Amino acid sequence: MDGTSAPLGATVCAGGANFSVFSKHATRIDLLLFESVSDVASAIVPLNRRTYHYWNAFVPGVSPGQIYGYRAHGPFAPDRGQRFDGDKLLLDPYGRAVVMPDGYDRLAGARPGDNSAVAMKSVVANPARYDWHGDRPLRRPTGRSRPA
């Protein structure tokens, strides 16, 4: 399933969703799809398309509300800042929503083995359909114009 490297995160498209994540040192990244927040993965989709350091896939049939996470495989070399563990479920660093199971256990990420049943998970969101209830972005200076 071909996807695109941009935009990063989970993006709802016609017929499904595009998933894209950055990892310079991963040797493989798997997308795990879940039926509910406390379940084990109902599907595992390898992100086989790699554009430079961006791993991606288009998954047909995925819609807003889909629960997902990643497993990143690669070297375990703490001296080089690399601590890959393919047993651990990871949140999407570019995700817009998360869910937490009733049995959430943050420390399970530090123990050996699969932590997917008790880990936080990402949720596919469609920002165009989010009701902001009249809220607007903060009017913060961008740093573009500076006084002389």
CATH number at residue 94: 2.60.40.10
Averaged pLDDT in 10-residue chunks for the chain of 148 residues: 87 95 96 91 89 95 96 93 93 95 92 93 88 76 57
Q: Is there a domain that residue 133 lies in?
A: no
Q: What is the pTM of this model?
A: 0.85
Phi, psi of 112 (to 5 degrees): -65, 150
Q: Is there a domain that residue 1 lies in?
A: no
Residue 2 confidence (pLDDT): 77
Owning domain of residue 13: 9-125
Residue 91, classified by CB atoms within 10 Å of its CB into exposed (0-12), middle (13-18) or buried (19+), is middle
CA distance 78 to 10: 29
Q: Is there a domain that residue 116 lies in?
A: yes
Q: Is there a domain that residue 142 lies in?
A: no
